[in-house]
Structure 1
Amino acid sequence: MGWRQTTSALSKEEQAALLEELLQSGLLLEEDRLLYSMLMPDRVKRMQEVLDLRTNHITILTEGVDDPHNQSAVLRSADAFGVQTLHVVEGRAKFKPNSIIAKSADRWVDVVEHRSIEDAIDRLKADGYQVLATALSEEAVPLEGIDVSKPTVLLFGNEHHGVSETALAKADGNYVIPMQGYVQSLNISVAAAISLYDVTTRARHVVTDGYGLRAEEKQRILKNWMVKSLPKRSLGVYKQKGLTAFARETGKTE
């Protein structure tokens, strides 16, 4: 097993306990033990710790955000505040975040692309979310007034034109970040970070059941993260020795 690193900060007893815990909880499937064995136990333990803090109770929807810098910054904020999924409706530019700015957040956050803003909002509402758009209006509530007990989508629009009229009409409401200066708006990357910090912090204290990910979500994400964490050489070995599992995970046979 020359592809595997051998130095771990965990003792053999801790490594054995971790593997047993992952298997007993169902987070790691028996068929994925090969994949697990090709990673440092410390890394998988860190994945487990991060997964325990992840949520889809709060999520983000971006509409026509074209700047790769902003795309990347929103992804990074989602990862930083434990938001697992980013929903995207592309504008004039493709959704292609800058990996340097994103700091690998694009590896850890699920990105779901939608054909249109109508489709995105309809789907999210059907899944039980309230959709709140960032927009200045008389009806807008302050950020701290958002009811975080409900599954919530924060909708951000294009850097120059904001949220479209179509999206505003379909959203459940608007919110604003209160400001005390002359400016009345913030860059989307800053607004997303401030908004996510506020709503996730409050939701963790308000939502006693259902804030974290479901067991089956954790299982899927852990496997995805483990596959993405394999070095190229190890990935080649995994494809050869664990071909069935690899094909099931990626849809590829080579």
Structure 2
Amino acid sequence: MSPERFARINQMLDNRQTDLTICLDKVHKTNNIAAVIRTADAVGIHQIHAVWPDIEMRVSGNTASGSQQWVKTIKHYHMSEAAEQFKAQDMQVLATNFSNTAVDFRDVDYTKPTVVIMGNERDGVSDEGLAIADQHIIIPMIGMVQSLNVSVASALIMYEAQRQRAQAGKYGTRTLDDAYCQTMLFEQGHPIYAKACRRKNIPYPQIDDQGQILADETWWQRMREPDPQAEA
């Protein structure tokens, strides 16, 4: 791994926000899902959630531009499953919805642990999603349209959250656990060796503070052994 690659991955890890996330509520268009993931990566969101009870969601690699490698999508079959995770992290739950209690999305404190539920363009946030929300938020509009594409709306909210968190000094201090960071450094810094480890069922090695592999001779010997899949 080059020093530049090592530094860039570490910078990403240092800025990941583990207590800020988006929950896509039955958003099924792959280009919208991928665009949300791409923006999530750009603002430093560690993972997003997606509720889809019926089909497997697929992300278009071209639209996401590889960002799905960096932002994990946690899939739920029911909103109640997602709600349990949000409650366990003591997150404030926001939902985009036109209601009498909705406030401007910029008037919310995103420095708190936060999840924003985004609905699909036809139906909006589901009744289940609205029921678990602590606050409804809206994006003010003065034109003729009444809604934005879900990926555009998500981007506006995520960048407001990023702005507030940057002002509060929440970027630059690593909050991810070391095991996850080691995995990312190895998989993204040494992808050929990482693929070989998965094929040969070899444990991942440690990565040192220069981005290089720390492994004993036994590990390297197993790496040099013939690939069982190649012989099959």
Using the size of structure 1 for normalisation, the TM-score is: 0.73
Q: 1-side partners of 2:14 and 2:171: how far apart?
A: 12
Question: Relative to 1, partners in 2 of residues 1:240 and 1:57: Cα closer, same or farther, differing over 3 Å?
Answer: closer
Quote the Cα distance in structure 2 between the aligned partners of 1:150 and 1:178: 22
Task: Give percent identity, aligned residues only.
Answer: 31
Q: Aligned pair 1:101/2:63, yes or no?
A: yes
Q: Is the CA contact (8 Å cut-off) linking 1:66 and 1:91 kept in structure 2?
A: no
1:223 aligns with 2:183: yes
Q: Distance in 1 between matches of 2:49 and 2:38?
A: 14
Write the distance in 2 (CA, Å) between the matches of 1:102 and 1:209. 25
Letter in 2 for 1:133: A
In 2, Cα distance between the equivalents of 1:181 and 1:60?
26
Q: Indicate the residue corresponding to 1:132 in structure 2.
A: 94
Aligned equivalents of 1:142, 1:66: Cα separation in 2: 26
Seen in structure 2, the aligned counterparts of structure 1 residues 45 and 242 have a Cα distance that, compared at 3 Å, is farther
Cα distance between partner residues in 2 of 1:236 and 1:75: 24
Q: Residue 91 of structure 1: CA displacement?
A: 4.5
Checking the alignment, whether the CA contact within 8 Å between 2:14 and 2:172 is kept in structure 1 is no
Determine the C-alpha separation between the residues in 2 that align with 1:224 and 1:72.
20
The equivalences for 1:9-24 within 5 A come to: none
Runs of 4+ in structure 1 displaced over 6 angstroms? none
**SS of structure 2 residue aligned to 1:112:** strand
Which residue of structure 2 lines up, in the alignment, with residue 198 of structure 1?
Answer: 160
Equivalent residue for 1:13? none
- Given that residues 58 and 200 in structure 1 are in contact (C-alpha distance below 8 angstroms), is that contact kept between their aligned partners in structure 2? no
One-letter amino acid of the counterpart of residue 227, structure 1? E
Q: Which residue of structure 1 lines up, in the alignment, with residue 215 of structure 2?
A: none
1:243 matches 2:202: yes
Count how many residue pairs are aligned between Structure 1 and Structure 2: 207
**Structure 2 unaligned blocks of 5 or more:** 206-227
Structure 2 partner of 1:66: 28
Aligned to 2:81: 119
Partner SS, residue 106 of structure 1: helix
1:210–1:238 distance in 2 versus 1, CA, 3 Å: same
Deviations 1:9-38 (A, max 9, x none): xxxxxxxxxxxxxxxxxxxxxxxxxxxxxx
Structure 2 vs 1, CA of residues 225 and 158 (structure 1 numbering), >3 Å: closer, same or farther? farther
Q: Shift of the alpha carbon at 1:219?
A: 4.3
